[in-house]
Amino acid sequence: MAFGKMKKGLSKTRGGVFARMSRLFTAKRKIDEDLLEELEELLIAGDVGVDTTFYLLDRIRFRVKKERYENAEELDRLIRSEVSDLLLGEEIKQADSKPQVILVVGVNGTGKTTSIAKLATYYTNQGKKVLLAAADTFRAAAIEQLSIWGERIGCDVIKHQQNADPAAVVFDAVNAAQARGADYLIVDTAGRLHTKVNLMNELEKIKKIIQRQIPDAPHEVILVLDAGNGQNAVSQAREFIKSTDVNSIFLTKLDGTARGGVVLSIKRDLGVPVRYVGLGEKAEDMAVFDPAEFVEGLFANE
């Protein structure tokens, strides 16, 4: 796995990444309420959300008292461990037999299609055979977009016409994946706001279609989340979990200045971990999520 890539991707655009964190922690400061208040600001500025921020601060206050931490340097380690612990997730289940089916969902404009291209590249580079399903039949030119990626990466794309029934595309794609002996089938779906019940039901239908052919699939359901999103992402995750049992998050656009701290709330409240991060527009700009590096990015200087 591309270790350290995430760090590189993050530091690429964040000059003085650790400046503020170090100003906060390495100075020979005592741990006091002022320091904690600054920490609160940092967390909230990183989109962590009020509830989770308070939860973390409470945890830290508790441990500071119990384990008798005194200076700020120790606090640094403490925070890293608290946040990393919060973010750790279990491994994804592997398919009993080929293909491993990955369903990709999310609201509009989070970067689903680009993320799929990245995943496809990632697995193709490992020598796996990847098949893509263009089940976003709604947005104008979405099928073309995926097809162009498919050509560039060198993997087949199963597609129908625009406005076709996405479930039908998925049905064909699962058959094709089995017939062609693909290792991975990655299904692109149309972006939809989580408040649109009919569209969410459509996802449920897609899931059922997959299950009818492969009972233990989809093995991975990835929610693509824009790092720029704020607290609304929790609500997004909650609704998508309801309709499709999301078990992974792909956090995109982390190469900007947004920190995506909301994933902490999502993990804490809903239990879904981040597994991948997107760091640019090229197909290679992806990294497997590393909690430690994420924490450093979270406290980046502005």
Chain residues binding another protein by CB under 8 A are 13, 41, 44-47, 49-50, 107-111, 138-142, 144-145, 148-149, 162, 193-197, 226-233, 235-236, 253, 255-259, 262, 281, 302
Residues 179 and 76: their CA atoms lie apart, in Å, by 53
In terms of CB distance, is 214 or 224 closer to another protein? 224
Which residues, at least 6 apart from 269, have a Cβ–Cβ distance to it below 8 Å? Answer: 52, 234, 238
Residues 126 and 280: their CA atoms lie apart, in Å, by 21
Q: How far is the CB of 249 from another protein (least distance, A)?
A: 15
Residues 55 and 72: their CA atoms lie apart, in Å, by 19
Q: How far is the CB of 208 from another protein (least distance, A)?
A: 19
In terms of CB distance, is 12 or 93 closer to another protein? 12
Q: How far is the CB of 159 from another protein (least distance, A)?
A: 12
In terms of CB distance, is 175 or 232 closer to another protein? 232
Structure tokens at 12: 């690429």
Q: How far is the CB of 131 from another protein (least distance, A)?
A: 19
In terms of CB distance, is 89 or 280 closer to another protein? 280
In terms of CB distance, is 10 or 174 closer to another protein? 10
Which residues, at least 6 apart from 122, have a Cβ–Cβ distance to it below 8 Å? Answer: 286
In terms of CB distance, is 209 or 233 closer to another protein? 233
Residues 180 and 161: their CA atoms lie apart, in Å, by 22
Q: How far is the CB of 8 from another protein (least distance, A)?
A: 16
Q: How far is the CB of 291 from another protein (least distance, A)?
A: 20
> Sign of the C-alpha dihedral, residues 211, 89, 223, 230?
positive
Structure tokens at 205: 């239908």
In terms of CB distance, is 20 or 139 closer to another protein? 139
Strand partners for 133:
158, 187
Q: How far is the CB of 143 from another protein (least distance, A)?
A: 8
Structure tokens at 85: 């612990």
The CA–CA distances, whole Å, from 208 to 42, 191, 264, 297 equal 43, 19, 30, 38
Q: Which residue type occupies 285?
A: D
- Judge whether 169 and 159 are in contact, CB under 8 Å: yes
